[in-house]
């Protein structure tokens, strides 16, 4: 569990750096604790693994004022768990679902129980994200998502993919962009 904690922490640090995240940004985390444990997604969830990953991630994000959101599994239609005040501030609509390990997943369940006032919403538009174990977080990223090549691309046995977002380029051939 210590190794998983350190891998999660290092991955979060790298995401913050490479995505240029700052206080107030929102990061979506999709996590298969099954994949982290070395088994097929959805077949071996672990709250102990989820706790280690959460602690590693939150140790970085909390210090930097970055908000975390956890994607539930497909059994809750990939709904999102986050703090109620963050959902209200961003205008996200609450849905009636409370994740548990067999409908929502171990990671989303852990986040739900660790937040001070959790809420579940159907959709968000995050500034960046981590996909731990092939959970497909793209539907919850702002347009336009940009893949990040992470050096810290493993947590346990799971492959980790990162993403940041950028504003859309509009205006055509005469437009100028920074």
Q: What is the pLDDT of residues 14-65, one digit of tens each?
A: 999 999 999 999 999 999 999 999 999 988 999 999 999 999 999 999 999 9
Answer for the pair 79, 135: CB distance below 8 angstroms, yes or no. no
Q: Which pLDDT belongs to residue 54? A: 98
Quote the pTM value: 0.93
Which pLDDT does position 174 carry in this prediction? 82
Residue 68 dihedral angles phi and psi, to the nearest 5°: -110, 140
Per DSSP, the three-state class of 83 is strand
Residue 89: CB partners within 8 Å, gap ≥ 6?
Answer: none
110 cis-preceded (ω within 30 degrees of 0): no
Distance CA 115, CA 109 (A): 10
CB 73 within 8 A of CB 66: no
pLDDT tens string 54-106: 999 999 999 999 999 999 998 899 999 999 999 999 999 999 999 999 999 99
Looking at residue 16, its pLDDT comes to: 98
Domain segments of the chain: what residues?
2-165
Residue 172: what pLDDT? Answer: 80
* Length of the chain measured in residues: 178
Q: Right CATH number for 2-165 from 3.30.70.60, 3.40.50.10360, 3.40.50.740, 2.30.30.100?
A: 3.40.50.10360
């Amino acid at each position: 569990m210590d190794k998983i904690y350190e891998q999660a922490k290092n991955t979060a640090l790298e995401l913050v750096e490479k995505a240029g995240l700052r206080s107030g940004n929102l990061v979506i985390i999709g996590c298969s604790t099954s994949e982290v444990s070395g088994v097929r997604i959805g077949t071996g969830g672990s709250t102990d693994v989820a706790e280690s990953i959460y602690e590693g991630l939150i140790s970085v994000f909390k210090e930097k004022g970055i908000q975390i959101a956890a994607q539930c599994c497909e059994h809750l239609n990939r709904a999102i768990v986050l703090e109620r005040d963050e959902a209200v501030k961003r205008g996200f609509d609450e849905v009636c679902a409370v994740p548990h390990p067999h409908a929502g997943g171990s990671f989303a369940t852990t986040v739900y129980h660790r937040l001070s006032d959790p809420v579940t919403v159907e959709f968000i538009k995050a500034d960046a994200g981590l996909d731990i174990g092939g959970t497909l977080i793209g539907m919850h990223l702002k347009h336009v998502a940009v893949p990040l090549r992470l050096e810290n691309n493993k947590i346990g046995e799971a492959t980790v993919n990162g993403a940041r977002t950028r504003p859309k380029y509009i205006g055509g051939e005469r437009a100028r962009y920074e």
